[in-house]
Amino acid sequence: MELKYYKKVCEHGCDGVNETLFNKVAENLGISDLKVSLIHGIDKAISEGIPEVPAIVINGEIVHSG
């Protein structure tokens, strides 16, 4: 199972990944042992059909957004 975290990169190039929140959402969803991929940039997220960032997508399904 793959968990993707899409996030907006600020104008200064900061990635702003909130790994604690990311892991907490995964924990709340009862998911463990995930290979986590961080995809930077709103353009990439939109091109993959994610309307808002940050969004957490598991197996192609948005489970958390905003």
Domain assignment present for residue 29? The answer is: yes
Task: Supply the pLDDT for residue 28.
Answer: 72
pLDDT one-digit tens code per residue, 18-32: 556 666 666 776 665
The whole domain housing 8 covers 2-47
In the chain, alpha helices (H): 19-28, 42-47
- CA 29 distance to own-chain centroid: 14
Q: What's the structural domain count of the chain?
A: 1
pLDDT one-digit tens code per residue, 24-57: 666 776 665 544 455 545 566 667 666 555 556 6
Domain assignment present for residue 10? The answer is: yes
Q: What is the mean pLDDT of residues 1-22?
A: 52
- Residue 16 pLDDT > 60, yes or no? no
Please give the structure tokens belonging to residue 9.
Answer: 């990169």
Measured distance CA(47)–CA(31) in Å, rounded: 26
Measured distance CA(51)–CA(66) in Å, rounded: 10
